[in-house]
Amino acid sequence: MKIICTLFITIIFSAAALATQPSIYGENGVVVAHDLEACEAGIEILKKGGNAVDAAVAVSYALAVTHPQAGNIGGGGFMLIHMADGQKVAIDYREMAPGQAHRDMFLDDSGKVVPQLSVRGGLAVGVPGTVAGLQLALDKHGSMERKKVMKPAIKLAQKGFTIPYDLAYSFGWLNKAAEGFDETRRIFCRDGEIYMPGETFKQPDLAKTLKLIQKKGNAGFYTGPVAEAMVKSSSKYGGKISSQDLMNYTAKIRKPVIGNYRGLEVISMPPPSSGGIALISMLNMMEPMVFDSVGWHSAQHIQMIAEVEKRAYADRSVWLGDSDYFDVPQDKLLSKEYATLRMADYDSLTITPSDSIYPLNDKDLAGIELIGQESEETTHFSVVDKWGNAVSVTTTLNWSFGSYVTVDGFGFLLNNEMDDFSSKPGEPNSFGLIGNEANAIEPKKRMLSSMTPTILAQDGKVVLIVGAPGGSTIITTVLQVIHNMVDFGMPVHDAVNVPRFHHQWRPDVIHYGPGSISPDTMVLLEAMGYELVPRYGYGEVNAISRDKIFGGWVGAPDLKTASHGAAY
């Protein structure tokens, strides 16, 4: 299909003359992340001669200090690396189920899911992976010692940083939500004396932990006093993590999933992330579509994308999980032939009800009703260096402030990632996502994720680094940023900051952000049979694209949130 010619692609990834002025430009390196302190930590490392991987490790540890809602050492995540020499690497440091975990651990005697058990307290905690993952990245692809890349984070924890409004607001919310979690309220809520915006927040306990990691690496976290305190603090609130679970944790190097969309190589995260496969599957379904005469966010446009999204999410519900435990049909899902088959019943003039879209033709799923609201407690950042090495990282505690369990004396929160398993296969988790047998709870298994760190390349060179938080909306958010750039010619700054919408198969509704669908378009969509539901919060996209006019890089933080960027 002749929609995008080479010239058009070139224009897309440039700062187009009529586009909004990009906020960040750098010739030697760019970092885009949730807060400025973390961005500056990464730039500091780049200026000292470190590469993008070194900077990414520095940014991640800094976020553990400045963004405790999601930045973490008590959680996990995924790192996607594209080295300038063409190496493509996915590092999986997703949390794991404890050895004592079992399939029915969140069910009562009658077989029903116990509300809140998988999201609050020690039983919700998976074995943390961040520290091991960052060390693996540094060992394999970094160029600096751990001692140097951790210095900015330790300084932030010791000397403190100015609390921005959004963090002060979150601390105030946590003061009420974390009742009964005394250590959490002591550190982050000052025992009820709420922090005000503009105050300085120091974390001596966290600084102590970071120094132990700086000195001993994984041994400073997964064994010794920190590990003992993790086991004790988790157990205090009903957790099952053991010292053996911590010693046995390993981060893994995996092969990225790779697709092609209109001549651009799409590189993304493989299982246990569902993001990469779902993203490439959707792009494959979209490739035969013609967008030349389609108005952006017109009724026709939204119908086209919504129908693609619901099919991919239907497949996600039963086909995706930890590939070490479940035989994921990855090649089939990534094939363009399968995309053609998946869209065989698509009609551009009508809606396909979700009840008639069957993953694996499993009609037993048709009657399931989903509940739950999406959260925004993941964080994503992107890094590029002067050599063209690029890193895309998404990391999380799951809910805001995770399980609310803070490790006594060491100043960091533990995740509540066990909720990302299927507590009962065929029933939704707290984000309204169904998981079937592929994502059932098993000891040492990694829970399914929607995180979608992604890199696009052309002729072997990186042209876009992108990702987002937002639970189930992560995948569609990344999809729409790519789609905005490739099919509608938007520069990265606009592609990131225009409104978005989302369909995840179940519930059978289109969620839309403020300003994303005009009133006239709503009437047309409703006449077609779509149910429209407003939604606030569609991730915090932090992206970087290559600038082909001036030769450097353009950073695009999501201005709808508190996102920032830095460059040099």
Query: Are β-strands 76-82 and 88-93 bridged in parallel, bridged antiparallel, or unpaired?
Result: antiparallel
Are 557 and 542 contacting, i.e. CB atoms less than 8 angstroms apart?
A: yes
Q: Please give the full DSSP string across 254-280, using - where no structure is assigned.
A: EPPEEEEETTEEEEE--TTBSHHHHHH
Which residues are registered as beta bridge partners of 556? Answer: 543
Give the span between the Cα atoms of 261 and 399, in whole angstroms.
33
Under 8 Å CB-to-CB from 414, ≥6 apart: which residues?
Answer: 74, 75, 122, 125, 128, 230, 233, 234, 397, 402, 403, 405, 406, 407
Buried b (16+ CB within 10 A) or exposed e, 407-434: beebbbbbbbbbbbbbbbbbbbbbbbbb
378 in catalytic set: yes
Are 343 and 311 contacting, i.e. CB atoms less than 8 angstroms apart?
A: yes
Query: Are β-strands 532-534 and 510-512 bridged in parallel, bridged antiparallel, or unpaired?
Result: parallel
Helix H or strand E segment including 81 = strand 76-82
Give the max Cα distance, the chain.
Answer: 65
Are 533 and 511 contacting, i.e. CB atoms less than 8 angstroms apart?
A: yes
Strand order of the β-sheet with 29-33 is 252-254, 88-93, 76-82, 390-396, 378-385, 29-33, 564-567
Query: Are β-strands 264-268 and 257-261 bridged in parallel, bridged antiparallel, or unpaired?
Result: antiparallel
Give the span between the Cα atoms of 299 and 320, in whole angstroms.
31
* Residue type, position 334, single letter: L
Residue 407's SS3 state is: coil
Q: Could you count the other beta carbons within 10 Å of the beta carbon of residue 202? A: 15
Under 8 Å CB-to-CB from 85, ≥6 apart: which residues?
Answer: none
Helix ranges (H only) for 48-123 are 52-66
Q: Could you count the other beta carbons within 10 Å of the beta carbon of residue 172? A: 14
Give the span between the Cα atoms of 201 and 194, in whole angstroms.
11
Are 369 and 505 contacting, i.e. CB atoms less than 8 angstroms apart?
A: no
Token pair recorded at residue 483: 């789609």
Give the span between the Cα atoms of 225 and 210, in whole angstroms.
13
What backbone phi and psi angles, to 5 degrees, belong to 355? -65, -15
Are 501 and 516 contacting, i.e. CB atoms less than 8 angstroms apart?
A: yes
Q: 378, 394, 395, 452: which one is catalytic?
A: 378
Q: Tell whether omega for the bond before 507 is within 30 degrees of 0, i.e. cis.
A: yes
Distance (Å) of CA 190 to CA 35, 171, 175, 193: 22, 9, 9, 5
Residues assigned a catalytic role = 378
